[in-house]
Amino acid sequence: MSHIDLYGIPNCDTVKKARVWLERHGLAYTFHDYKKEGADPAKLASWIAAAGLDQIVNRKGTTFCKLSEAEQAAAADSHTAVALLVQHTSVIKRPIAEHAGGLLVGFKEDEWRVLLD
């Protein structure tokens, strides 16, 4: 198995579960902390192109709910969503794992087991 790049924020429970799962399965990964390192606009755009806007934008989280109507509307268009996600990294679904076979959005143990284990 090749290396995995894991993106998220360290205090997110789902990210914590994913990190524990990767470590338990002996899978090497690099963790990218949005809060410390920010989010790369080009990478966000590529994720949206690969997985779709609805997979990348977390519309259920408290951060999204606190956004203005104009900001929420920006999340509906792939061109304006990137700028919104760079500014409000907590609106990016977590975690996102890049691996040799593609992209995993969110932590679903069964899906991760099939694709990574």
Tokens of 35: 């809060």
1, 5, 12, 62: which one is catalytic? 12
The answer to whether 65 is a known catalytic residue is no
- Report the length, in residues, of the chain: 117
User: Which residues belong to the active site?
Assistant: 12
